[in-house]
Amino acid sequence: MSTMGELNFFLGLQIKQCQEGIYILQSKYTKELLKKFGIEEGRTVTTPMATNVNLDKDEKGKSVDESKYRGMISSLLYLTSSRPDILHAICLCARFQSNPKESHMSVVKTIFRYLKDTISYGLFYLKNEKFSLKGYSDSDYARNIDGRKHTSGSCQCLGDCLVSWFSKKQNCVSFSTAKVEYIFAAFCCTHLLWMKQTLADYKCSLENIPIFCDNTSAINIAQNPVHHNRTKHIEVRQHFPRDCISKLKI
């Protein structure tokens, strides 16, 4: 795209172009991180975080060096540019940067051990991939131990090529898993509509874009707005503050 020749390296991202497509990775950056934090040796693991790990503030735990912990987290966050597989685990550990404990540091080191075993992982974009847009949405219900808030995640794909993703802990506590899934599916929908409009500017017309959600109640609410037995809890929460205001309780 310029007189400098083919793009191979950009802001820490390695770009490899071939006949099949484009491969984006950060193996060089990953090796530098492992060397910087002294995790070049030792065992490796096959997952960034065990599914049964539930981190909390661990107020009785032993404190660790805050500056080192924050440095490890910030370094890993930049790595998520090409490694969505570690995004959730890193964001979970990032919640405890103000007062990190040994239990938190142990999980961060587990992420590094996973990176050591998967240095060559990255994003691959096929050249002749079928051009279709789709989205995935999911939320865990009251998984956070400290405040019982839920974490939501979403990703969007063009064909089988991942183009957008994120994971975020919500700001409020929800009373219903159906409401959590439904609201976040709606957020995923708005993101897909934005991408659809952007692609339309490049003369790419897309229709019937699917959103994949694993909650039956949320799917039923989306398909049938008069599904009262599924939406009764939402109406109760809506009318509760109205009732309190009418009776001058708040």
Mean pLDDT, rounded, for 65-70: 91
Same-domain pairing of 12 and 77: yes
Specify the pairing of strand 13-17 against strand 9-10: antiparallel
CA distance 106 to 93: 10
Average pLDDT taken over every residue of the chain: 79
Give the tens place of pLDDT for each residue, 198-227: 888 888 888 888 888 887 777 777 776 555
Specify the pairing of strand 211-212 against strand 133-140: parallel
202's CB contacts (< 8 A; 6+ apart) are none
Residue 220 has a pLDDT of 74
Give the tens place of pLDDT for each residue, 154-197: 888 888 888 888 777 676 666 566 777 777 787 788 888 888 88
pLDDT > 70 in the chain, percent: 79
Residue 69 vs residue 226, higher pLDDT: 69
Residue 114 has a pLDDT of 92
Same-domain pairing of 87 and 137: no
Residue 250 has a pLDDT of 44
Residue 112 has a pLDDT of 92
CA distance 41 to 31: 12
Same-domain pairing of 148 and 206: yes
Residue 149's CATH number: 3.30.420
Whole-model pTM: value is: 0.73
Residue 236 vs residue 121, higher pLDDT: 121
How many distinct structural domains can be found in the chain? 2
Same-domain pairing of 117 and 156: no
Residue 249 has a pLDDT of 43
Query: Tokens representing 30?
Result: 């990953």
CA distance 165 to 84: 7
Query: Tokens representing 26?
Result: 């950060």
Same-domain pairing of 140 and 116: no
Helix or strand holding residue 200 (H, E): helix 177-200
Residue 20 has a pLDDT of 85
Where is the domain boundary, 97, 128, 159? 128
Same-domain pairing of 25 and 96: yes
Among 74-83, 127-136, 239-248, which is the least confidently predicted range? 239-248
CA distance 89 to 110: 10
Among 31-40, 109-118, 187-196, 238-247, which is the least confidently predicted range? 238-247
Same-domain pairing of 13 and 95: yes
Query: Tokens representing 137?
Result: 């949405």
Where is the domain boundary, 88, 113, 128? 128
Query: Tokens representing 195?
Result: 């991408």
Same-domain pairing of 15 and 119: yes
Give the tens place of pLDDT for each residue, 72-118: 999 999 898 888 888 888 888 888 888 899 988 999 999 999 999 88
Is the CB of residue 210 less than 8 Å from the CB of residue 135? Answer: yes
The residue range of the domain holding 62 is 1-128
Same-domain pairing of 116 and 191: no
Helix or strand holding residue 109 (H, E): helix 102-117
Where is the domain boundary, 103, 128, 153? 128
Same-domain pairing of 234 and 133: yes
Same-domain pairing of 91 and 139: no
Same-domain pairing of 182 and 105: no
Q: In whole angstroms, what separates CA 246 from the centre of its chain? A: 41
Distances (CA, A) of 95 to 73, 101, 103, 198: 10, 12, 13, 33
